[in-house]
């Protein structure tokens, strides 16, 4: 047991070392070396009878050499990405795609040595922010790439388009002779066929400058960027980078499998923080507040000892499908209730007071205009629905 405990400590320490190297963005070779050490330590531990076994499995009908089409999951991910970004209504966007194998092949035929692959990739990935001349100067002046090699790279990475560019490169006398590039181009051609069937091909651009780090990607890579219109009056230009990204990483999960089995994977991520920054900036420019709740109306009281009446009314509103809430204090001050609505963006307040109870009415207050009207209790649901059915501008 003592030996096993010591091994477990070594596994924990080595795992922390691997995570630290990844956070520091160490070289792929160094990370792979440390991961190999980690896997070796885990193998020495052997099976643990006290813990359930974790087994990596692929679908039963998976057949990578047979009928399985690897581009279908990639096309579906791109479809999902487009649907999400469209639903957010943050503006027009474009999804740029490329393939790790095309980049590998392109750098190989241009004369980039294996030792410079990662560093040249990082330079090429800056083309969406700086000019080609700046990228070339960095590759030649700072990273020691021969000028003629940089020029050959420039002939490729400045190209972007759709399936016609894929077909053009399939006929390229040099690139078409590289096995990896040819595989990547073949898959991209098939991908564009599926994207056309999904109705999103016009949102996708084949961009040879897209690199995305590439530490673990093995095939298609993609990222979505906003197509920025001229800034509105009072707005700063939006510079948030990509708002979604993803790709294929068939070798990543297998790194953590002692048997090294290949587990095909593809996925995407949405830049939630970046999207929030876009929405917040636009709202600030329009001097509008961000609504932090879907609540349509707050049930409030004007005097003390009206908790039961508030509960009765909110129950009626809930039963009618109205999104309502109340403060949990027994006797909240009216001013505090109104301030809560202003802070959270609740548009209406249904106020109950002693006089309202006697008259059989509810005082309905608009938080924005501060206008108040008495509404008969039996008409309150209809009036709230009428007022909240009008669309509110949030962008």
Q: Residues within the annotated binding site? A: 63, 212, 216-217
Cβ–Cβ < 8 Å for 274, 257: no
Strand, coil or helix: 272: helix
* Residue 208 vs residues 127, 133, 238: alpha-carbon distances, Å: 10, 16, 24
- Pairing mode, if any, of strands 348-352 and 297-301? parallel
| Nearby residues of 361 by Cβ (< 8 Å), 6 or more positions away | 374, 375, 376, 377
Annotated binding site for L-histidine: 63, 212, 216-217
* CA–CA distance, 145 with 149 (Å, rounded to integer): 7
Tell me the C-alpha distance between 247 and 308, whole Å: 56
Q: Tally the residues of the chain.
A: 395
How far apart CA 22 and CA 32 sit, in angstroms, is 10
Q: Which of 180, 182, 181, 247 is nearest to 213 (CA)?
A: 247
Structure tokens at 234: 């009072």
Q: 145 CB contacts (<8 Å, ≥6 apart)?
A: 112, 116, 120, 139
């Amino acid at each position: 047991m003592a030996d096993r405990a010591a091994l477990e400590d070594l596994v924990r320490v080595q795992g922390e070392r691997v995570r630290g190297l990844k956070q520091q963005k160490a070289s792929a070779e160094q990370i792979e070396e440390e991961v190999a050490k980690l896997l070796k330590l885990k193998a020495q531990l052997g099976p643990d009878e006290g813990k359930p076994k974790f087994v990596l499995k692929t679908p039963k009908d998976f057949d990578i050499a047979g009928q399985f089409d690897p581009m279908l999951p990639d096309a579906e991910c791109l479809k999902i990405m487009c649907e999400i970004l469209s639903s957010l209504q943050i503006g027009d966007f474009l999804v740029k795609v490329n393939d790790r194998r095309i980049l590998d092949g392109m750098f190989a035929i241009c004369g980039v040595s294996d030792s410079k692959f990662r560093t040249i990739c990082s330079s090429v990935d800056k083309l969406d922010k700086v000019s080609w001349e700046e990228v070339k100067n960095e590759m030649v002046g700072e990273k020691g790439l021969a000028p003629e090699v940089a020029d050959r790279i420039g002939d490729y990475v400045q190209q972007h388009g759709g399936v016609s560019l894929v077909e053009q490169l399939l006929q390229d006398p040099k690139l078409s002779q590289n096995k990896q590039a040819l595989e990547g181009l073949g898959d991209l051609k098939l991908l564009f066929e599926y994207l056309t069937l999904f109705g999103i091909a016009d949102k996708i651009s084949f961009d040879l400058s897209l690199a995305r780090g590439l530490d673990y990607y093995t095939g298609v890579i993609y990222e979505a960027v906003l197509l920025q219109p001229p800034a509105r009056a009072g707005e700063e230009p939006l510079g948030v980078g990509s708002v979604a990204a993803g790709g294929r990483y068939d070798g990543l999960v297998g790194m953590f499998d002692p048997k090294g089995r290949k587990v095909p994977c593809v996925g995407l991520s949405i830049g939630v923080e970046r999207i929030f920054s876009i929405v917040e900036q636009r709202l600030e420019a329009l001097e509008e507040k961000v609504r932090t709740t879907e609540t349509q109306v707050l049930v409030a009281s004007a005097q003390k000892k009206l908790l039961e009446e508030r509960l009765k009314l909110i129950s009626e509103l809930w039963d009618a499908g109205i999104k309502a809430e109340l403060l949990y204090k027994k006797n909240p001050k009216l001013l505090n209730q109104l301030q809560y609505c202003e802070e959270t963006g609740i548009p209406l307040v249904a106020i109950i007071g002693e006089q309202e109870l006697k008259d059989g009415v509810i005082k309905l207050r608009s938080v924005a205009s501060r206008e108040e009207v008495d509404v008969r209790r039996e008409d309150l649901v209809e009036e709230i629905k009428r007022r909240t059915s009008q669309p509110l501008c949030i962008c």
